[in-house]
Amino acid sequence: MTGMCDEIRPRAGLLPLTIYVAAPRGFCAGVDRAIQIVELALAKYGAPVYVRHEIVHNRHVVEALKAKGAIFVEELDEIPDTQAPVIFSAHGVPKSVPEAAEARHLFYLDATCPLVSKVHIEAERHHEDGREVLLIGHAGHPEVLGTMGQLPEGSVHLIETIDDALAFTPKNPDALAYTTQTTLSVDDTRAIAEVLKERFPRMVGPRKDDICYATTNRQEAVKRIAPLCDRLIVVGSPNSSNSLRLVEVAERAGCPRAMLVQCAAEIDWANFIGIKSLGITAGASAPEVLVEGIIEAFKARFAAKVQSVVTAEEDIAFKLPRQLRDGPAL
């Protein structure tokens, strides 16, 4: 986007600075798949391609896809009758959305992250088994709306805090299950789940933690570098849940101040006067080019030494929708 990440003029005088760059960081497999779905749909079917909600929560990504011919809408009723593909975002959607698309004979592609789809399936199975379903998550987040929308209204109870967990009154304490949003703080979620388990010992939880591997790995990487840093930057968008959690994790892990920054042009340099060490990471929907731009901005102002701190290796990839893997265009 023009002017969004313009280079900033360096200041005179270069003081030493160690930059610790967390790894893993940035795009996860679900985000990478979702962006590929939009790009491949544009390549196969041509512009326009309609996308319901931001495909991922990153302004840079959204603007780049707009430039290629993607049209972003919040609801299906903003889309005209069309043969063009309609893509659902990586966060997932309520069941009512594909049902509405089918009623209008829209051709849609579902870019929901497979790990979010796993949570949807868990919630449905618990409901079918006669359990009340608790969802640990943040009200209003698209992923939460999508998960709650898999079941009849009133079947899922949102738990945002420990106070919510303490206040919840079930219909039957022996017929409860919980699941979670995939992009939460690992530590906060564990604390809430422990309260629920203590109150309702027979409550059923996920066989494996619902918080996705990428969220977990990025939080662990931040915990490693945070105590070493005078300041820590999380590259990400204000509406990105996993990016906001990284800011919280960094400060809890010992960094005096962490902040969310979308790109180099947003840096308030007054916050970095006198620092000797800086941490940098990126949320799961932030492209690496934004990280590189921020590193270069600091190199222009400091005698910077960059160290990569690797805490995990990631090699996960998810299959693309069948329509984009084979077969002719519509």
DSSP secondary structure string for all residues of 69-116: TEEEESSGGGSPS-SS-EEE-TT---THHHHHHHHTT--EEE---HHH
Structure tokens at 160: 């945002």
pTM, two decimal places? 0.90
Query: Packing angle between helix 114-128 and helix 29-45, nearest 10 degrees?
Result: 110
Residue spans per domain, the chain: 15-27+213-310, 29-113, 115-199
DSSP class of residue 238 equals T
| Dihedral of alpha carbons 72, 44, 30, 180, sign | positive
Q: Rounded distance, CA 137 to CA 152, Å?
A: 18
Which amino acid makes up residue 51?
V
The answer to whether 146 touches 92, Cβ cutoff 8 Å, is yes
pLDDT for residue 325: 83
pLDDT for residue 326: 67
Is 115-199 a CATH 3.40.1010.20 domain? Answer: yes
Structure tokens at 25: 């960081």
Q: Rounded distance, CA 66 to CA 239, Å?
A: 19
pLDDT for residue 13: 61
> Would you tell me how many other CB atoms lie within 10 Å of the CB of residue 133?
22
Question: What are the Cα distances from residue 226, in Å, to 10, 132, 247, 269?
Answer: 26, 39, 10, 19
Residue 203 CB-half CA count within 13 A: 24
Q: Rounded distance, CA 268 to CA 229, Å?
A: 17
Q: Rounded distance, CA 218 to CA 22, Å?
A: 8
Q: Rounded distance, CA 38 to CA 29, Å?
A: 15
CATH fold match for the domains 15-27+213-310 and 115-199: yes
What amino acid positions are annotated as catalytic residues? 143
Q: Rounded distance, CA 194 to CA 200, Å?
A: 10
Of 149, 134, 128, the C-alpha closest to 205 is: 134
pLDDT tens sequence for the chain (330 residues): 333 444 444 455 689 999 999 999 999 999 999 999 999 999 999 999 999 999 999 999 999 999 999 999 999 999 999 999 999 999 999 999 999 999 999 999 999 999 999 999 999 999 999 999 999 999 999 999 999 999 999 999 999 999 999 999 999 999 999 999 999 999 999 999 999 999 999 999 987 778 899 999 999 999 999 999 999 999 999 999 999 999 999 999 999 999 999 999 999 999 999 999 999 999 999 999 999 999 999 999 999 999 999 999 999 999 999 999 864 454
The tens digit of pLDDT for each residue in 63-83 reads 999 999 999 999 999 999 999
The answer to whether 159 touches 197, Cβ cutoff 8 Å, is no
Q: What angle do CA 312, 24, 138 make, to 5 degrees?
A: 110
Chain CA centroid to CA 42, Å: 23
Is 29-113 a CATH 3.40.50.2020 domain? Answer: no
**Domain 15-27+213-310 has what CATH class?**
alpha beta
- Phi, psi dihedrals of residue 226, rounded to the nearest 5°: -55, -45
Q: Rounded distance, CA 267 to CA 151, Å?
A: 43
pLDDT for residue 86: 98
Place of tokens 């969220």: 215
The answer to whether 280 touches 17, Cβ cutoff 8 Å, is no
The answer to whether 303 touches 15, Cβ cutoff 8 Å, is yes
Of 192, 312, 185, 180, the C-alpha closest to 244 is: 185
